[in-house]
Amino acid sequence: MSTEGTYYVPDQSKLPIFAATGMGVMAYGAASWVLEGGTATIFLIGALIMAAVLYKWWSIVIDENMRGLASPQLKHSYVLGMLWFIFSEVMFFACFFGALFYVRVLVNSWIGGEAAVGWFDDTPTDAAAANAVHLWPGYEATWPPMITPDQAVNGDAAQFKGPDQAMNNPGILNWGSWLPFWNTAVLLTSSFTVHIAHVALKDGNRKKFNRWLGVTVALGIFFLFLQAEEYIHAYQELGLTLESGIYGTTFFMLTGFHGMHVTLGTVMLLIQWLRGLKGHFTEDDQFGFEAASWYWHFVDVVWVGLFIFVYILT
């Protein structure tokens, strides 16, 4: 069927209603789980609804493309949609990196006493001096803050206490036993293997494509395993938790959300691998895989930023 000069419009569907329902249940479940001390049951129900909707929705889109219903114009809209999605993710992580910069460079030093100096001279302002002297006496602005401002003021009675140890860079000679280094090595290697798979697909070498894409999926799973090991090590041996002051909060916020994105990227690549085993994709029609590979490269770049600013420069 020729689609030249046409734009395929699918039939009406109830899937958007189910998707909105699933997201609403997930949002309510997450809020109840965190704020009311409930369980994750409602959140998981919403997640299952979303998973079922996405499975059905993507199956329809794949079937439409396999039947030749997707016109060049429609395929171009897929490309634009994926690019805008990745751009939104760039902004998402830019906010998190910006929060880390704000807390680490500005707020931490202000609380430690630097705010006591006026903006235009070296004379302390009354309000700033009062803050430094009376609100957080004894707090020293270091990063990572092993002693929180609350701990510096209230001692053992403090609600928020710093970690016992930080996830410090042990020096390049000791990276062989440092989990963040192996996380980085695994993820960068996976970016290389997915590129090999991409080139193989463009060359029409399906066997090579399936092999190297399978390796990429395995590396993504291995990365998640290593990150889980890192979290267990942080909680059990370093005392670094979500409640370890601003350091614990920013550490797990940045690395945790990245881990969530790695999970999503791994699932996307797994689906493309299964499609490849079924004979999907051709040398000139492979957008599903290309979109997943673009997302995977983006996830790798974000990790490089995390490795530098969260681990190396700690």
pLDDT at 2: 46
Inside any domain, residue 204: yes
Q: Is there a single domain that holds both residue 120 and residue 104?
A: no
pLDDT at 1: 45
pTM as predicted? 0.86
131 closest CA partner among 149, 143, 147: 149
Angle, helices 245-277/72-101, rounded to nearest 10 degrees: 160
Q: Is there a single domain that holds both residue 136 and residue 171?
A: no
Q: Could you tell me how far CA 94 lies from the centroid of its own chain?
A: 11
- φ/ψ bin of 124: left (φ > 0), alpha (ψ from -120 to 50), beta (otherwise): beta
Q: 135 to each of 117, 190, 196, how far by Cα in Å?
A: 16, 48, 57
CA distance 219 to 186: 6
Helix, strand, coil fractions of the chain, as percent rounded to 5:
75, 0, 25
Number of domains in the chain: 3
Q: Is there a single domain that holds both residue 234 and residue 140?
A: no
Inside any domain, residue 162: no
CATH of the domain at 220: 1.20.120.80
Cβ(184)–Cβ(283) below 8 Å: no
Inside any domain, residue 21: yes
CA distance 300 to 216: 12
Q: Is there a single domain that holds both residue 250 and residue 198?
A: yes
Q: Is there a single domain that holds both residue 304 and residue 185?
A: yes
Q: Is there a single domain that holds both residue 87 and residue 234?
A: yes
Q: Is there a single domain that holds both residue 19 and residue 137?
A: no
Q: Is there a single domain that holds both residue 246 and residue 171?
A: yes
Cβ(82)–Cβ(291) below 8 Å: yes
- φ/ψ bin of 105: left (φ > 0), alpha (ψ from -120 to 50), beta (otherwise): alpha
CA distance 80 to 25: 29
Cβ(210)–Cβ(281) below 8 Å: no
pLDDT at 5: 55
Q: 296 to each of 139, 228, 272, 284, 300, how far by Cα in Å?
A: 41, 19, 12, 21, 6
Cβ(186)–Cβ(177) below 8 Å: no
Inside any domain, residue 2: no
């790695």: which residue's tokens?
262
Last residue of some domain: 122, 157, 192? Answer: 157
151 closest CA partner among 248, 236, 75: 248
Q: Is there a single domain that holds both residue 241 and residue 149?
A: no
Q: Is there a single domain that holds both residue 146 and residue 171?
A: no
Inside any domain, residue 94: yes
CATH of the domain at 50: 1.10.287.70
CA distance 112 to 124: 14
Q: Is there a single domain that holds both residue 131 and residue 225?
A: no
Inside any domain, residue 224: yes
Q: Could you tell me how far CA 190 lies from the centroid of its own chain?
A: 16
Q: Over its length of 314 residues, how does the chain's per-residue pLDDT go in tens digits?
A: 444 556 777 778 899 999 999 999 999 998 888 786 777 899 999 999 999 999 998 888 888 888 888 888 888 888 999 999 999 999 999 999 999 999 998 888 888 776 544 444 555 555 555 555 567 777 888 889 898 888 888 888 888 888 998 888 888 888 998 999 999 999 999 999 999 999 999 998 999 999 999 999 999 999 999 999 999 999 999 999 988 989 999 999 999 999 999 999 999 999 999 999 998 888 888 899 999 999 999 999 999 999 999 999 87
- Structural domain harbouring 128: 114-157
Inside any domain, residue 5: no
pLDDT at 110: 81
Q: Is there a single domain that holds both residue 129 and residue 227?
A: no
Inside any domain, residue 143: yes
pLDDT at 286: 87
